Structure formats: structure tokens, C-alpha cells
Amino acid sequence: MDNNDPKVIDAQIVDDTSTETTQSGDINPSDTSPSADSLLSLTGLIQNYIAGIDRARKELTEHRQLLTDSFMNDEAYRLEEEKVKAATKVRNQVKQQILKQPQLWLCLKK
């Protein structure tokens, strides 16, 4: 051998991925590191919380609709609601008339 030639050393390539996958392509949790287990556990918890929030939101929407329907089906409530709408309309008209006064325009411009 010549001294100028680089030495060739036999080596073995080691693949550092020690996790195994199942037939569906998912990572087998028993073969993962502790940090990966924590991540999988945390992901599961987050997904469960999100699913719970979605269920609660759906139930709340259903209950809100039931409550609204109950009020609107009651004749006395519906009549009073119409009176309130009419009174609100009259109040807004009077308010607009008052705001048209010149003294109030000066106050509003300041």
C-alpha cells in the first residue's frame, strides 16, 4: 500500500429509527420513546377535549332552540314581544327627532 492512499475502514450503517409501524401505518406505542408516548397521550387528550367541546356546543344549540321555540309558541309572550318591538320603534323615532335639534348638533360635533 502507498502512504498517500486514504485508509478504507469497514463500517456498518446503523438506522436509529427504533419504532415499528403497524400494518395500518400507525406507530406502535409500545416501541416509542417516553417523549413520544407523552406526545401521543397529549394528542389524545386534546382530541378528546375538542370532541367534548363540539358535543357541548351541539347540545347548547339544541337547548337554545328549544327555549326560543317555547317562548314563541306561548301566545302571551309573543304578543308582549310584538308590543316591545313597536315601543322600541316609537322610541327610536322620538330619539331621532330630538337629535335633530340645533342645540344637540353643537354638542354632538364637539
Question: What does the domain layout of the chain look like in residue ranges?
Answer: 21-73, 75-110
pLDDT of residue 100 exceeding 90: no
Q: What percent of the chain is helix, strand and coil (3-state, nearest 5)? A: 70, 0, 30
Average pLDDT for the chain: 81
pLDDT of residue 23 exceeding 70: no
- How far is the C-alpha of 95 from the C-alpha of 88, rounded, in Å? 10
- How far is the C-alpha of 109 from the C-alpha of 107, rounded, in Å? 6
- Mean of the pLDDT values across residues 52-80? 95
What local confidence, expressed as pLDDT, does residue 101 receive? Answer: 85
- Mean of the pLDDT values across residues 37-65? 95
Label residues 62-91 b or e (16+ Cβ within 10 Å = b): eeeeeeeeeeeeeeeeeeeeeeeeeeeeee
- How far is the C-alpha of 54 from the C-alpha of 17, rounded, in Å? 37
pLDDT of residue 11 exceeding 50: yes
Hey, what's the cell of 92? 327610536
pTM of the entire predicted model: 0.45
What local confidence, expressed as pLDDT, does residue 1 receive? Answer: 47
- How far is the C-alpha of 60 from the C-alpha of 73, rounded, in Å? 20
